Structure formats: structure tokens, C-alpha cells
A and B are shown apart, each in its own frame.
Chain A
Amino acid sequence: MSDVLVSVENVGKKFCRSLKKSLWYGVQDMAGEILGCCREHDLRADEFWAVKDVSFELKRGECLGLIGRNGAGKTTLLRLLNGLIKPDHGRIEVRGRVGALIALGAGFNPILTGRENIYVNASVLGLKKKEIDNKIDEIIDFSEIGEFIDSPVQNYSSGMNVRLGFGIAASLDPDILILDEVLAVGDIRFRAKCYNKLQSMFDRCAVILVSHNTEDVARLCTRVNLLEHGGSQYLGPVEGGIRRYLEANGPMDNKALIVAADYLDITVTNVVVDIESASKNVGSIKIQAHITAKYTTSEIRLVWCLLDSEGRNVCVSVASPLDIIAQRSYSLLSELSELRLCRGIYQIAANIIRVNPAPSGQYPEYPDNWELLASFRNLGQIIWNSQKIIPFGSNVFMPSETTLHDIG
């Protein structure tokens, strides 16, 4: 027995750049469809392949991330999978109910009450009256509309609207789940609820996720399909896919954001990160950097920070004291070992600090005694793709081995 829920074979879809021609081709295609003529496979004037030769299979419990730049054909592929439009080439096979968490609250009528709209929207999504009757309390409960459920939807706040839309769509129990960026809506507490709901759906479904948020892709997907100009450029493990995607996006804005004290004028450049054995839960990374300073300084310390996608510090590592002579260039190698991180993408930042003498009785390296001399953000990125999903990272001070070489 095969477990394949979605099978896509060499699928292609043509689109047309000019509206006038597109409409005319529409008439031609319609005539062809009705008369049963074969569709021609060549491109007509002004046409291009919006999706070309894409193939993949997806089993239950898997999540495929579709990534790529705007206009790469991701949404078109989703619409093909959803059966909204016909492929011009190839073959798509889906098994079971397809649920799309796109267009939340489509078909809501503002005049009608929340309860009435639940019935309409859920019917449009394919639920029968009986199923809705069974689920309506759950939906109202989940979306936290409370007593407002019998007031017109036009009086709802936008948050209530999307919450209700999400609640209905999430009650669908699909076999194949299609997500177009709408992962979580509402305030922070409700977003957490959405994530939990999605997580519970993920185990039962084959999921296809379109997202520009590489963080979400890294965290949720089991495989990645990188689309470029409609074609599939990469299909495979998440880490490689995201790396290709980030590279294809051109050099990242790698200019380090530097906030440095004038008198110090230190620079950290050429940061190279090397991840070792991140596939297990525990991993280590090596960071290489060049340091120069305008003035001679001693007893300064380099603090490496790993920031998550929302800019929070998840890991801080303080290197041993460094002495730097003015106008010389140093090569620095730090190794952060025993890292325990959630799956995701992290940014590397560095801070230069001086540790001031501690008041008596206090541990000398206590952060209260730190004086920030310079801070560098956006030095590089690491993609952490541990096999096992750890629900939380280790937000602690990590040991690091740092060595400094004078390279002239």
C-alpha cells in the first residue's frame, strides 16, 4: 500500500502577459475544451510557463515547503493542486479532501451574523450541515468570538474576522492541507493557538506550505521544493533548499550593522560560519572573523550572539579577553560547542565589551559589569536543521574556544 496522497508529474501551466490576448486565448481554450480538441503545447505569443515540469510526491505526515521569489509559480502550483485551474501539461493526482488555509473567511457576508457565516463558509469549504452542527461549538470556542457570534460580522474587529475564518478552515479535517503563508493570525496568544492547531493537523495530513518566511519553512517542513521561473530548481532536504534559496536571492545584505564607539573603531569582517554536526540535537559551529582596530585596546572581549528570526538573543558566548594593537589585522576563530537550538535560521551578531572591575563580592563576569563598546549585527546566517524538533532552545551562556592570530 502506498501512502502517497499527492502525486505531481511534470506539471506545467502557461500564463499570458497581455490581458487582451489572455482573454482571447481563454475563448480559444474554451472552444477547444468544449469541442474536445487537444490543447496545443506550444507557447502562443506573449505566453510563458508559469509552472514548468514540476514533479513531486507527498505522503501523509510530510510537509513540502514551496519556496522561491515572487512570481516563481508557487501560488499557481497551489491553485493547480487545489483543482481551481487545469494543468496545461502533466498530471496531478490527489487523494482525499483538500483543505486550503487560504482566503480565510471567503464568502463572509458582512450583514449576517457570525453563526450564519459559519454555516455559509463551512458549506463552501465542503462541510455538510450535520458536520457543521457537530463542529460549530468547537469553531466558536476556538475563535473566541463568544457572545458576538450572533452579531453581524461587519461589527467584528479584523482580528475577530480572521480568527473566525481560521477557526472554520481549521475544523475541516483535510487529508491534504494547503497553506499559503497564512500560518497564524490574530494576537500573540491566538497565534500560538493557531500553531498548535496546525501542528496537530500536520501529523494527519500531507501538507504543502508556500512561504517566504524561511524560518517557518525550516521549522515545519520535511522537504523543500525551490521554484525559479516556474521550474523546480531543487527538491530535497530543507537545509540545502533554503541555502540555495538564500544564495539565489543574491548576496544577502551582508553589510554588518555597526554601532561602535568612536574611540575604538573596531571592525569585524569576513565572518565565515561552519556548522558541524547540527543534524543531531547537539551541534557546534565555528565562526571565523577578521578584526582590525584603529586604536590599541586591551582586555576587550568578543561576545557572539545568535539571534532568532524575531531578533531575540537565543545564545550568548563570551570569548576570553583579547588584546588588539592598532592598525593590525587579526584572524579570529571561535568555536561554539554543545549548541542546543530549535530548528530554524539564526543570525550572527557580535558585541565587543569591556568587563569593568566588579564590586566586591560579585562574580567578576556578571553582565552588570559589562560595558558595551561596539555591536555588529547581520554578520551571517546559520540554518539549524536538527533531526529532532526541540520545543525550546537553550538560551544560556555557551562556552566558546577563541583563538586570535596576528596576520599583519
Chain B
Amino acid sequence: MQPVDTLPKTVYTPESQMHSPAKLAKAMWNDLKDSRELAWRLFVRDFSARYRQSFLGIFWAFLPALLSGLVFIFLQAKNVVNLGSVDIPYPVFVIIGTTLWQTFSESISGPLKAVHDGKSMLAKINFPREALVVAALYEVLFSVAIKYVVIVAVLLFFKMPLGLGLIYSIPAVLSLIFLGMALGLFLTPIGMLYSDIGSALTIFIQFWFLVTPVVYAPPHSFPYSLIATLNPVSPLLVGTRDLMTKGIILDTTLFMSVSACSVIGLFVAWVVYRVSMPIIIERISS
């Protein structure tokens, strides 16, 4: 039996954790470390359960993007809508666009969904709360990996060159995911209290899709150019697509600053999530 004095001590007080930032940072770091294995377990659990009960399995990782892409390809080809001209084959442009958009929307809704599904566990067991979010991140990463295969297939099909840009696009996709996760995680605490957040998020993501240059090229004339400058997803999505197809990012400064903001945002959202979790748990039923 371990002597009492050497056992790790945990103290719970009403005081805000923000009062001792050093302690908070240390606890966050430790919990992140501790939660990696648990997150992996949770990911494997959800993953195997889902695919054991599904026919199409991993196809769901890219099917929605592919279908919505095909719709726009069809509409554009038949001149039902005019989405402007792009400098690469339009199907490649659209399918990469919708695939990246699906990644982003999965990243936004991931944390709230993961925490919501883990509600009964959260209410009863004390485990690192980060694990649920990290598991959601793993899930997005896994689905991105499959999407890459599809993107490469599309590029090959349209006889586009496969350059180093594809490799460079990996950190770019990560920025996109971080931006989504940051927003999603930031909304999670409130979203756990009020179901409005979840419902609004679904509608909002659809609307957001329309004001992001996913299926059309970034417009240059004012006020439509605001879509490309004010919308934080635009530089990341457009930049990633450019990297994948052309191997370059046109506006590096904007891309880098949005990426940096995403990382900082994710950290802030994490702090918010962490300190608000005990308050959420006391107010939700298990």
C-alpha cells in the first residue's frame, strides 16, 4: 500500500480556475497527455461500432461531398447556373472544394456531437474531458485520410499533375480542421445547455457554404469580394485547394494569419471548454 503522503492530491474549491493560470495550464497539459490513449479507445469504439453496422462503411467519409459536387458539376455543365470560370477543370475544382468543406463542417459539428453523445459518461465518471474532443479530432483526421485518396483519384482521372503541393496541403488541411474545431468547441458548452445552438449550427453551416468560394471562384468585385476577405474559411479552403491542384498559395500572408488565429482560437476554446465543463455537468441530466 502506498503511503498517503505520496499519493497525488486533488483539491476542489469554488474559486475560478482562471485565477491560477499556471496550474490550469499544467493540468490541461497533463490531461491532454492522459487523454490520448482514452481518446484512441473511444475513437476505435465508435469507429468499429459504426462500420460493423454499416454497409457502405468508409464511403460515408466522402459520399456526401462527392454527391453535392456532382450536383454542381451537372448544374454548371447544363448551364442551369453560372458559377463563373475557374482555371482548372471544374469537376476537380468542385469536388476538392466540397470535400474540404465537408471536412470543415465535420470539424465544426464534431465536438458538440462527441460531448453530447458522451453525456451520460460525463455525468457519472471523472475522466479527462479532453478525450471526447480528441476522439472527435481523430475521427475527422481519419475521414480526411480517406478523402485524400478520393482527391488523388480525381486528380489522376482528370490527368492533373500530382505535385509536392499535395504533401504541403496536409498542414493546410489541419488549419482548416483547427478552425472548425475551434468554433465547434467554443460553442460546445453553451450548446450543451441550449439545444438551439445545435439546431442553429446546422442551418448556419448550410448558409456558410453558400458564402464561401467552394463551388465558385473567389469573386473580385466589391461587395462580393468580402466573401473572400471577411470569411475566415475562404483563405484556408481556397489556399488548400490551390496547394493541391497548383502547388502554390496565392495570398500567403492572409493564409498564415488565419491559420495562426485558428491555432490560438483552438487553445482559447479548449480553456473555455475545460473550465465550463463542471458547470455544464451539474446542469444537464445524465
Contact = CB atoms under 8 A, between A and B. Distances in A.
Interface string B192-227: 011000000000000000000000000000000000
B26 interface: no
Contact of B124 (A34, A35, A84): A84
Those 5 A-B pairs whose CB atoms lie nearest each other, nearest first: A103-B124, A96-B7, A36-B18, A85-B282, A111-B49
Contacts of A44: none
B126 A22 contact: no
Interface residues of B, number: 52
Contacts of B257: none
Contact of B45 (A5, A95, A109): A109
B276 A96 contact: no
Interface in B132-146: none
B281 A84 contact: yes
Interface of A: 1-5, 13, 15, 22-23, 25-27, 29-30, 32-39, 60, 79-80, 82-96, 98, 100, 102-103, 106-107, 109, 111-112, 116, 119-120, 123-126, 128-129, 175, 204
B256 interface: no
Contacts of A84: 122-126, 278, 281-282
B82 interface: no
A116 B4 contact: no
Contact of B193 (A27, A38, A125): A27
A13 B41 CA distance: 34
B125 A30 contact: no
Interface stretch (B9-17, B90-98, B105-113): B9-17
Given A83-B126, A87-B13, 20 more contacts: A25-B283, A26-B279, A30-B276, A33-B275, A35-B16, A35-B18, A60-B1, A79-B282, A86-B13, A87-B14, A93-B11, A103-B120, A107-B45, A111-B48, A111-B49, A112-B48, A112-B49, A123-B37, A124-B41, A175-B2
B87 interface: no
A25 B275 CA distance: 15
Contact of B278 (A1, A86, A100): A86
A287 B9 CA distance: 51
B28 interface: no
B45 A120 contact: yes
Interface string B17-39: 11100000000000000000110
B38 A123 contact: yes
Nearest to A125: B125
A204 B55 CA distance: 50
Contact of A204 (B1, B52, B53): B1
Contacts of B124: 84, 100, 102-103, 106
A23 B4 contact: no
A94 B9 contact: yes
A109 B42 CA distance: 10
A120 B42 contact: yes
Contacts of B283: 22-23, 25-26
A22 B41 CA distance: 34
B8 to A, nearest CB: 7
Nearest to A5: B4
Contacts of B15: 38
B52 A111 contact: yes
A175 B7 contact: yes
A51 to B, nearest CB: 11
Given A34-B275, A36-B19, A83 B4 contact: no
B263 interface: no
19 contacts: A2-B4, A23-B193, A26-B283, A35-B18, A84-B278, A84-B282, A86-B12, A86-B282, A87-B12, A93-B9, A95-B4, A95-B7, A103-B125, A106-B125, A111-B48, A116-B45, A123-B42, A125-B127, A126-B127
A92 B193 CA distance: 26
Contacts of A23: 193-194, 283
Contacts of A79: 282
A106 B121 contact: yes
Nearest to A203: B1
Given A86-B279, A103-B124, A96 B14 contact: no
A80 B4 contact: no
B23 to A, nearest CB: 13
B70 interface: no
A35 B279 CA distance: 14
Nearest to B21: A36
Contacts of A82: 126
A46 to B, nearest CB: 13
A83 B127 contact: no
Nearest to B5: A1
A91 B4 contact: no
Contacts of B118: 107
Contacts of A60: 1, 4
Contacts of B45: 107, 109, 112, 116, 120
B9 to A, nearest CB: 5
Contacts of A123: 37-38, 41-42
Nearest to B278: A86
Nearest to B276: A30
Contacts of B48: 111-112, 116
Nearest to B19: A36
Contacts of A87: 12-14
A100 B125 contact: yes
A13 B14 CA distance: 9
